[in-house]
C-alpha cells in the first residue's frame, strides 16, 4: 500500500463507490422498519446522502490540475466543507432528539464509510501514471 501513494494515480471513477454507499442507504430502510427506528431518521439520512452526492457531482465537474489551481482549491474546499456542513446538521438534530439524530448519523456514517473505503481501494489498485507524465 505505501508504494501506491508514492506515484500519482488517476482520480478513480466515483460511480461504483457512490452506488455502494447508496445501496447501504436503500438496504437500511427495511432494517429501520424491522428494528423500530424512526423512519424519519432514515429519510433525513437519505436526503443528506443525496445532497452529499449532488454536491460531489458538481465538484467532480471542476477541472483539476496544475493549470487550474483556482478550481482545484474550490474543489478541495468544497469536498471538505460538504462533510463538515452535513455532519453539523446531524449534530444539531441529535442535540434536539438523540434517538432520531443518532439513527440518521449512523446511517450517513455507514454509507460514507463504505463509499470512502471502496474509493481508497480503487485508488490503491489503479495503475499509476507513467514516470514523467504530469498528473491530471
| Whole-number Å distance between alpha carbons of 62 and 75 | 7
pTM listed for this prediction: 0.80
Side-chain-side CA neighbours of residue 76 (13 Å): 8
Q: Vertex 58, ends 18 and 22: CA angle to 5°?
A: 20
Largest CA distance in the chain: 57
Q: What is the pLDDT of residues 2-18, one digit of tens each?
A: 555 566 666 678 899 99
Among candidate residues 120, 109, 107, the one with its CA nearest the CA of residue 16: 120
How far apart, in whole angstroms, are the C-alpha atoms of residue 85 and residue 87?
Answer: 6
Per DSSP, the chain holds a count of helices (H) and strands (E) of: 4, 0
User: Higher confidence at residue 25 or residue 69?
Assistant: 25
pLDDT, tens digit (0-9, with 9 covering 90-100), for 92-108: 999 999 999 999 999 99
Phi-psi region of 9 (alpha: psi -120 to 50; beta: other; left: phi over 0): beta
Residue holding cell 474509493? 119
CA distance 41 to 118: 25
pLDDT tens profile 110-126:
999 999 999 888 877 76
Q: What is the mean pLDDT of residues 52-73?
A: 82
User: pLDDT tens for residues 68-82?
Assistant: 777 878 888 888 999
Return left, alpha or beta for 38; rule: phi > 0 is left, psi -120 to 50 is alpha, else beta.
Answer: beta
Amino acid at each position: 500500500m505505501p508504494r501506491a501513494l508514492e506515484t500519482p494515480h488517476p482520480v478513480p471513477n466515483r460511480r461504483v463507490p457512490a452506488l455502494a454507499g447508496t445501496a447501504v442507504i436503500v438496504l437500511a430502510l427495511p432494517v429501520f422498519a424491522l428494528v423500530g427506528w424512526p423512519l424519519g431518521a432514515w429519510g433525513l439520512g437519505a436526503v443528506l446522502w443525496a445532497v452529499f452526492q449532488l454536491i460531489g457531482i458538481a465538484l467532480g465537474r471542476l477541472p483539476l490540475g496544475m493549470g487550474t489551481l483556482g478550481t482545484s482549491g474550490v474543489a478541495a474546499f468544497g469536498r471538505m466543507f460538504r462533510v463538515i456542513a452535513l455532519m453539523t446538521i446531524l449534530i444539531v438534530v441529535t442535540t434536539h432528539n438523540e434517538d432520531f439524530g443518532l439513527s440518521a448519523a449512523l446511517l450517513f456514517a455507514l454509507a460514507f464509510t463504505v463509499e470512502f473505503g471502496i474509493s481508497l481501494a480503487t485508488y490503491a489498485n489503479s495503475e499509476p501514471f507513467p514516470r514523467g507524465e504530469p498528473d491530471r
